[in-house]
């Protein structure tokens, strides 16, 4: 799923890959290199806690620094939100 999405991105699209559990880690800083982005995605490992709020906030703050009017945050998690 993620592989196909990255492959279909327009050339020179800026991509950053972060992972999160109990902490947030930048796996690949902002790059236009699809291979680097895909390698970072392929190295992701599920496990640990899920810091949903902090990771969304981190993504939002990172996007604010991008000098483009077209910004997208793709959020993939292995956890379900608790209700109530």
| pLDDT score of 47 | 78
For the ranges 10-14, 61-65, 66-70, the lowest mean pLDDT is seen at 66-70
| pLDDT score of 52 | 84
Beta bridge partners of 18: 26
Q: Extract long-range pairs of 8-11: CB within 8 Å, 24+ residues apart.
A: 9/34
Q: What is the pLDDT of residues 11-38, one digit of tens each?
A: 989 999 998 888 888 999 989 999 999 9
| pLDDT score of 33 | 94
| pLDDT score of 77 | 82
């Amino acid at each position: 799923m993620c592989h196909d999405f990255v492959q279909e991105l327009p050339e020179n699209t800026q991509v950053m890959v972060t992972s999160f559990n109990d902490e947030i880690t930048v796996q690949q800083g902002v790059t236009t290199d699809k291979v680097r982005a895909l390698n970072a995605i392929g190295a992701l490992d599920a496990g640990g806690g899920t810091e949903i709020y902090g990771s969304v906030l981190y993504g939002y703050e990172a996007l604010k620094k991008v000098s483009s009017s077209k910004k997208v945050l793709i959020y993939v998690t292995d956890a379900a939100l608790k209700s109530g």
